[in-house]
Amino acid sequence: MRSLLDFIVKHSYVFLFILLETLSLVLLFGFNDRQKEAFLTSAGGLSGSIYELRSEVGQYFGLKKENEQLVEENAILRQRLFSLADSAAIRFEDSLSTGQVVVARVIDNSVRRDDNYITIDKGQSDGLEKGMGVYNSSGVVGVVLLSGRHYSIVLPLLNAKTSVSCKVMGSDNFGFVEWNGGDPYKVQLNDMPYHSDVRVGDTIVTTGYSSVFPEGIMVGIVSDVEQMKSGYSLRIAVDLAVDMGNLGWVYVHSKTPDPEIGELKSQIR
């Protein structure tokens, strides 16, 4: 207590100055309308800037949660879209679009290897199985290769073992998208019939001929068309719609193949 009193006495002139200054400001802004208005305007602007900064900081740290909610909502909308297409029975292929959409987060990824793989945080406990199609809001990503209880390994388009049935949007001629290595932004659409009307700038989408992907999922844009030496097919270069090196959230099309179809194919083999 003695020390506090000594401190106050030692700095009494400072405290007196602060007291008189505060009293002067109260008298100035309390009894003069013009100065009061100017003070409130300035204070309001400063407070607004502080609140805006606080809001931006809060929004930044809330982005992760908001992204998760948006992805979940998109999955629900996609599922409803597939169900509507199926109930409308527009075409037989559309009936293959029925199924669940599971949201997963990419936790490991590679794009520079000869055989690339992706790891996602969903597995058998979430209904995932080998052979299910994986895509995001931009387009096709790959196919589930292995599924554990809580995690799955995805075979992306950037893997020589991947082959996805695709077509030019608006056409029924189809081929198979494959990757020959090298550029992680380009794939090839092989085995397209030579009479196919394919041009640079055309959009390549999935055919929907299997249960792996619904029909019409974006794959990429045609960047080059070349006729094979055999003369019976075209080799088409496609710029991928998905940036494989920048994957965050993906959707897994969890419709499993009809066992009757699988049994018939096994009988053929």
Mean pLDDT computed over 231-259: 82
Q: Which pLDDT does position 132 carry in this prediction?
A: 92
pLDDT-derived band at 141 (thresholds 50, 70, 90) equals very high
Mean pLDDT computed over 212-218: 89
48 is a domain residue:
no
188 is a domain residue:
yes
Select the more confidently predicted residue: 235 or 187: 187
Domain count, the chain: 1
Question: What mean pLDDT, rounded, does the chain reach?
Answer: 76
For CA atoms 52, 54, 58, 63, give the dihedral sign. positive
Range of the structural domain that residue 124 is part of:
64-257
pLDDT, one tens digit per residue, over 18-33 is 777 777 766 665 666 6
Lowest average pLDDT, out of 70-79, 105-114, 171-180, goes to: 70-79
17 is a domain residue:
no
* Residue 189 confidence (pLDDT) above 60: yes
211 is a domain residue:
yes
- With beta carbons less than 8 A apart as the criterion, state whether 180 and 147 touch: no
CATH of the domain at 80: 2.40.10.350
pLDDT-derived band at 81 (thresholds 50, 70, 90) equals low
69 is a domain residue:
yes
pLDDT-derived band at 88 (thresholds 50, 70, 90) equals very low
